[in-house]
Amino acid sequence: MMKILIIEDEEGIRNNMRTAYDWEQMGCEICGIVANALEAVEICLTQPPDLIISDIVMPGIDGIIFLKYIKERNPDIHFIIMTGHREFEYAKNAVNFGADAFMLKPIHYQELSQIILKISTILRNQNDEEKKQYEKEIILRKLLEGRLNNEMHSDSFVHAMLGKYQNPYCIAVLEPDGEAPRTPQYIQGLLSACIDLNIEDNCCFLKMNYEQIVAVISVSHKEIEWKTSIYNYFIALQQRIYDLFKITVSIGVSELLSGQQSMQEGYLQAKKSLSNRFFSGFNSIHFFASGGEDSFLDYYQILDTQQLFYDLLQNSSGIYLTEKAGNLLDQTIQTLGKNRAFIKSSILILATLCSKHIFNENKRQLASFMERHANFQAIVSSENIDNLKGVFLSILLDLSEYISVKKQTDKQIIIDRIVQYIEENYASNISLNDVAKVVFLSPGYLSALIPSITGNNFTEILTQTRIKHSIDLMKQNQLKNSVIARKVGFSQPQYFSHAFKKVTGYTPTEYRQTYL
């Protein structure tokens, strides 16, 4: 039933409207009869009506302001505005704000009933359309997933809908790039943007999951350059989505198909096409191309390539290493074809083999290195080829740094690197274990090496560095000692005061009074 809310400040008119019709027989239900808009707002927020019949002149909020307020929050609610002769010109503004009709008082109830029935018919048709659209989406999902059974084929609605897909069509999969949200509400917003742009009504959009929107696009028999047409359509859609959401989407498109039995194949083709985003980057459009995509791992080729990278690590460093290794990596990737998973697995094997070769039998240092790089998970999760190259080259640079440390006979190089790390990270909660990972040596070895070279242990060097920077902060402004303590890495202000006096011979307050 259509739910109706009546707002009228005159009690007599409210009573007349309550008994004017057999509301149930009209297919209507009165969900509220109130005297002013304030009471009506609460009803609209808790149990929104389908139709509001409202006076225009009411105490507090008048009908026009109320209409505008409700329409901004729920544009699907219909309105009939009632007005006296004196407010007639003013009442006509109600149409501009979305009222379906306005009536002069005294009310002609036969005319009002005709308007109500007309609105009821509109709502019923809308509900029928929404139901059909929902059923259509369910059928399309089943087709795309290959789950449409024979019993469903016999349904007249299903049969009529499937007939549409005997003509040429293609399937497209749209997916947000990068770190775009994947919530149901966000994907629903993207879906609405897609539907709004579907001017020619030749495309059916639906959500397949929390990450993808699928489009089934009918293509005219006469449209020879169908790819150009589809490409231009999606370029416009990508721009619209960026304007609305400030994100990019990439799109994979199947080849031209016909017959509902090909729909699952088209969905798989579109998803496979979308995977080419890995090579081209974000905000891209890819059409399905068959053949030449299956690859097999030649382990001996990988071993040979690993040896080339190992030789580079032994003989190059810094910018020369990245340049030469980058060129070799490009050549390697070109030989691996267009299978994204195969490329990732090959690069992962290369990184692992190079690491094992460099660390040789030192399993402890290898484990520390693998932990530092999260077992190369960044390679597995790389979203495009440039990202993958960057991850692999960063691994090579870390291996190169280890080689240079290992080759140095002067232990001062190691100490310099430790001091540099402390200087860069003193404000954080760092430990000897963190430093050990940086120089690829064991904490036990470093605990003996550091004082033998510097005369101080790790904790003493860290504390001295923190106190030095705390003094710099005291000179620059009037920050409280507790604030300075946190800024230089002390979690306890009391310990900061104790450490400060141990290093300088003064408490922080005494130091300020004496030297600042």
Is the pLDDT at 409 greater than 50? The verdict is no
Where in the chain are the domains? Answer: 2-107, 163-287, 299-407, 412-433+444-515
DSSP label of 54: E
Fold adopted by 163-287: Alpha-Beta Plaits (3.30.70)
Structure tokens at 458: 């790790």
pLDDT tens digits, residue range 125-167?
Answer: 777 666 666 677 777 788 888 776 554 544 455 555 556 666 7
pLDDT at res. 199: 53
Read off the tokens for 463: 């504390």
pLDDT tens digits along 272-296 = 888 878 777 788 898 987 654 445 5
Identify the burial level of 473 via C-beta atoms within 10 angstroms of its C-beta, where 0-12 means exposed, 13-18 middle and 19 or more buried.
Answer: middle
If you average pLDDT over residues 296-319, what whole number do you get? 80
Q: Would you tell me the crossing angle of helices 299-315 and 385-407 to the nearest 10 degrees?
A: 50
Helix, strand, coil percent values for the chain (each to nearest 5): 60, 10, 25
Contacts of 187 (CB under 8 A, 6+ apart): 207, 210, 211, 213
Q: Which residue has the higher pLDDT, 332 or 158?
A: 332
Q: What is the mean pLDDT of residues 229-257?
A: 89
Nearest to 433 by CA among 488, 371, 495, 383: 371
pTM of this structure: 0.45
- What fold characterizes domain 2-107? Rossmann fold (3.40.50)
- Highest mean pLDDT pick, 62-66, 244-248, 289-293, 425-429: 425-429
Alpha-helical regions (H) of 6-108: 11-19, 37-46, 63-73, 88-91, 93-96
Per DSSP, the three-state class of 257 is strand
- How confident is residue 390, by pLDDT bands cut at 50, 70 and 90? confident
What span, in angstroms and rounded, lies between the C-alpha atoms of 287 and 249?
15
**How many other β-carbons are positioned within 10 Å of the β-carbon of residue 132?**
12
Least confident span in 237-241, 307-311, 332-336: 332-336
Residue 485 gets the label, from left (phi > 0), alpha (psi -120 to 50) or beta, of alpha
Structure tokens at 19: 């008994």
Q: What is the DSSP string of 108-155?
A: -HHHHHHHHHHHHHHHHHHHHHHHHHHHHHHHHHHHHHT---HHHHTS
pLDDT at position 153, please?
A: 47
Comparing CA positions, the residue from 28, 113, 27, 105 lying closest to residue 63 is 105
- Least confident range from 157-166, 369-378, 446-455: namely 157-166
In the predicted structure, residue 366 carries a pLDDT above the cut 90: no
Residues 6+ apart with CB under 8 A from 60: 36, 37, 38
* In the predicted structure, residue 437 carries a pLDDT above the cut 90: no
Top-level CATH class of 412-433+444-515? mainly alpha
Higher-confidence residue of 365 and 269: namely 269
Cis peptide before 181 (omega within 30 of 0): no
DSSP 35: S
Q: Residue 65 in contact with residue 97, Cβ under 8 Å?
A: no
